Amino acid sequence: MSAPTVRRRRLGAKLRALRGADTLDEIAERSEGAFVTSKLSRMETAKSAAKAKDVEQLLDLYAKLGRDVSDELRAALVTLTKEGAQRGWWHSYRGVLTPVYADLISLEAEAESVSTWQLGVIPGLLQTAEYARWIIRATAMSEAVEARVDALVEVRLARQAVLTRDNPLTLWAIISEQALRSTSEGDSVMDEQLGRLLSMAKRPNVNIQVLRSAAPLHVGQLGTFTVLGFGPHPDLDVVHTESLTAALYIEDGDKVAAHRDAWQRLTSAAESVEASTDLITEIRKNS
């Protein structure tokens, strides 16, 4: 993709934070010719993809300058850099995916955890093929989307490999009761989908909670969101939000923290994991 990815922007933001009060010119001078100001600027602003060797060399410089460059942080930033240069499976769908959606898939592939709140639909990582097809058709806002439904279903199912890979992603999903009681053209679609939730809930890396429709007013009524976590460095975490015609990423640390706080409130307001499993089973039985 020609536009800077979220991954590159996060790398650039961390490099900017490590620079501290020094100017780009000062860092270039202290690098003794290893870097010029324009190159440092491109790395920080994600105008071009950084090379792993450049990132490592810059981290070495920052370490010498007394910046906090732990082994864990170094590994995380170098991994972001290297994976940013690789072509994932989703690149074969470049004619189907928007750059924002491609970014989401790449972030899911790299993340250690996904914490998601869904108000009206089942999370994409837990959808069956028929449910995905139904939702994509129901929410399509253009003929272009309608024309590539099959490909979009393929993509949605392929994304789910992150849950069953070696060292799988940890998914914690909070789903509104409303989404579980949706009706489709055929009851079998929701029956299969609810069965899928029950099956996935048995995996040690998947937690599902249901927020009842009768719950008191809560912060989740302002909209759905997903927090993508990258392990011991929360400053690399990203929030993904969607609306009818747009999707965006929130990268500011304070705003990401606010979404994490909101998500924690929702976990407290929702049914427990065990009670949620019972509720899904009951809904499926009575639907």
**Three-class secondary structure assignment of 236-275:** HCEEEEECCCCEEEECCHHHHHHHHHHHHHHHHHCCCHHH
Average pLDDT, the chain: 90
Q: Name the residue among 206, 273, 245, 250 with its Cα closest to residue 98.
A: 245
Which pLDDT belongs to residue 2? 39
Q: Give per-residue pLDDT as tens, 11-29.
A: 898 999 999 999 999 999 9
Name the token pair of 230. Answer: 């990258």
What mean pLDDT do residues 145-150 have?
A: 84
Which pLDDT belongs to residue 91? 84
32: Cβ contacts below 8 Å, ≥ 6 apart: none
pLDDT at 3 over 70: no
- Identify the top-confidence range among 138-152, 203-217, 231-245: 203-217
Q: What pLDDT band is residue 1 in, cutting at 50, 70 and 90?
A: very low
Q: Give per-residue pLDDT as tens, 200-221.
A: 999 999 999 999 999 988 998 8
pLDDT at 181 over 80: yes
Which pLDDT belongs to residue 79? 85
Lowest mean pLDDT among 212-226, 233-247, 267-281: 233-247
Look at strands 170-176 and 206-211 and give their pairing.
Answer: parallel
Which pLDDT belongs to residue 185? 62
Q: Report the C-alpha gap between 208 and 9 in whole angstroms.
A: 31
Which pLDDT belongs to residue 283? 95
pLDDT at 5 over 80: no
Ordered by start, the domain boundaries in the chain are 6-84, 91-286
What mean pLDDT do residues 108-137 have?
A: 94
CATH class, 6-84 region: mainly alpha
Which pLDDT belongs to residue 10? 81
Torsion of CA 122, 237, 164, 202, to 10 degrees: -60
CATH (one of 1.20.120, 3.40.50, 2.10.260, 3.30.870) for 91-286: 3.30.870
What mean pLDDT do residues 2-10 have?
A: 67
Q: Give per-residue pLDDT as tens, 248-258.
A: 889 888 999 99
What mean pLDDT do residues 262-284 have?
A: 97
The percent of residues above 70 in pLDDT, for the chain, comes to: 96
What mean pLDDT do residues 131-151 have?
A: 85
